[in-house]
Chains A and B, each alone.
Chain A
């Protein structure tokens, strides 16, 4: 691997990525900073057989999560049957009462799911979290692959790997499948958004219109795109890259300036598909994560193919006991936080911090989950000409049309910090391409 000719082009590729505007906006201490998303050219390679296993497990998981969402916003059978306690639904910040009773086109809630996994030292893959709201990141390996192929075509002659540039086709299929008629639009908050590169790149690759809220208007229960010459075109599918609360100031946050008034009413009437559907946050909540294996058994009557990291819910008395007696071995996560925030390791706290944390945990047990720290495999990265090991995860993308489709690639993120387990790009990590080999 270290001999790959491709590696000689790392700097050049990073330069090109910067020129194309592949940047990531981060907030630190309330200051917005745009920074480059460093690319490491040593790919993560996944063998065909190993990926097939992942593929089966990911499809299964996303099927169950979609069924869960459909159930939660209608009959709530899983709650009535006592599998998921009511408190975990209604007290979840991702649960949206406004979504009760509205079934999205074709009953699909999560069209694009970003599932984060790590590979343990035991060679098993573990699911770390599900992202069912607006998971981002697919564009980075897409453009990186493109630049790598151009920089070092020979490298790609010698490896039998799946072409990952079909992501746009999969996305288009997922969008078209639920479109009840009309154009397809990617809704962006605008060019100052952290992921604007991705919005524009995916629009270009899928042939969708890239639009801001002010270019879309609701009239007579129909959504229209106003093109530059003032003509109106009916819109049937919106891949919205803004979060639920900003989507419609007449239904959600009234202060939103980037949303479209009454778009949710068009959705209620079935005249537009919103991708992903609003309300998905109730299924990718860190507290609900604990229940995903149970969901798979409940809805599909199958055993989960991929496992969760061993997780405890202090909400249950038995789990609380375990957490308190094994505190130093566990990582504790605030269910309301994302992006690597609100994560603390039991063994990294001072005595006082630990006591304060335990007090908080006992006051608000619903707010936290505790997990075993997974000793995950390092991946090699190139740092100033030297190969060094770093922690890395994988965000796999599952797209839903008639059936779930797993993109044969993914976003591999790594921590640039030697001793950090947190790989989120919002905390300054880098990324790699993910190569899936075919047979």
Chain B
């Protein structure tokens, strides 16, 4: 068990004043069998009333509408997360998992990924878990971590074609491949120990357990990861979704800090 302190800050600056802005933010750590959240502090600037809710995947969200003209929007969440168990995410419940098995959104295989999938040899894998491991190792070898090569909207197939990308691309490609193998897989958005940005990985259904794999780092997800939310692809658990009137060009800065509490 470990306790992680986290700080998530998002700052958006607009060139011109925004007259009205709707926002939905999903950056509150999940409360589940794996992790427990305590001492959460939220702040939104300019100050505005917001509502709490859950999306259809159970991810917590806060949402609202800023109606005062503003040229910057700052959102911050600070708290501690107790990581209770490390070896698996959660027991699969009674729900059908098919929704995480069919191709969807950014995770639809094209010719490139289909061919790559066919080149894989699972003959020695005795379980879904072993297939997940084998695919993770292959992908880690055959894809390069290069920030800036891809965009938020890049699909798994496009990223694979470029041969490089960031954690979102690793997760998208990995999920696409797992689903081709018939293994239900979820995209996970979260935070990892250190300083920087948010992270992404995948959970795969092995037997009746969701096991979390980090294809970017070629390892299992252990007690230095904080899970924020999951979905079919990155769009389902996007940390920030906004809709604004006017504002012109905008620049967004995200800073994340996660450290172990003694």
Contact = CB atoms under 8 A, between A and B. Distances in A.
A99 B65 contact: no
Contacts of A221: 51
A89 B63 contact: no
Interface residues of B, number: 24
A269 B53 CA distance: 8
Interface of A: 75-76, 79-80, 86-87, 89-91, 97-102, 218-221, 249-250, 254, 261-262, 265, 268-269
A232 B6 CA distance: 41
Contacts of B54: 268
Contact of B65 (A75, A80, A102, A219): A219
Nearest to B236: A97
A87 B65 contact: no
Interface string B40-81: 000000000101011111100001010000000000000000
A80 B96 contact: yes
Given A98-B55, A220-B51, A250-B63, A75 B94 contact: yes
19 contacts: A76-B96, A80-B96, A86-B98, A86-B101, A90-B101, A97-B56, A100-B56, A220-B49, A220-B51, A221-B51, A250-B22, A250-B24, A250-B63, A254-B241, A261-B65, A262-B22, A265-B51, A265-B53, A268-B54
B106 interface: no
A76 B63 contact: no
Interface in B1-56: 22, 24, 49, 51, 53-56
Interface of B: 22, 24, 49, 51, 53-58, 63, 65, 94-96, 98-99, 101-102, 231-232, 236, 241, 243
A89 B57 contact: no
**Max chain A CB contacts within 10 Å: which of B56, B65, B101, B232?**
B56
Nearest to B103: A91
A262 B65 contact: yes
A101 B58 CA distance: 9
Contacts of A261: 22, 65, 243
Contacts of A98: 55-56
B213 to A, nearest CB: 22
A260 to B, nearest CB: 10
Contacts, number: 59
A345 to B, nearest CB: 31
A99 B24 CA distance: 17
A80 B96 CA distance: 8
Contacts of B56: 97-102
Given A75-B95, A90-B101, 12 more contacts: A79-B96, A87-B98, A87-B102, A97-B236, A100-B56, A100-B99, A102-B56, A220-B51, A250-B24, A250-B63, A261-B243, A268-B54
Contacts of A265: 51, 53, 63
A79 B94 CA distance: 12
Contacts of A75: 94-95
> Interface of chain B, helix or strand or loop or mixed?
mixed
Contacts of B241: 250, 254
Contact of B63 (A79, A80, A262): A262
Contact of B232 (A97, A218, A269): A97
Contacts of B102: 87, 90-91
Contacts of A249: 243
Nearest to B100: A90
A250 B243 contact: yes
A56 B58 CA distance: 40
B65 A86 contact: no
A218 B241 CA distance: 16
A97 B99 contact: yes
A91 to B, nearest CB: 5
Contacts of B231: 97
Contact of A86 (B49, B57, B96): B96
Contacts of A250: 22, 24, 63, 241, 243
A250 B22 CA distance: 8
A219 B49 CA distance: 9
Nearest to B231: A97
B68 to A, nearest CB: 14
B243 A79 contact: no
Contacts of B51: 220-221, 265
A268 B59 CA distance: 14
Contacts of A101: 56, 58
Contacts of A86: 96, 98, 101
Q: Lowest 7 CB-CB distances: which A-B pairs, in order? A: A86-B98, A100-B56, A261-B22, A90-B102, A76-B96, A90-B98, A221-B51
B66 to A, nearest CB: 12
Nearest to B51: A221
A250 B243 CA distance: 7
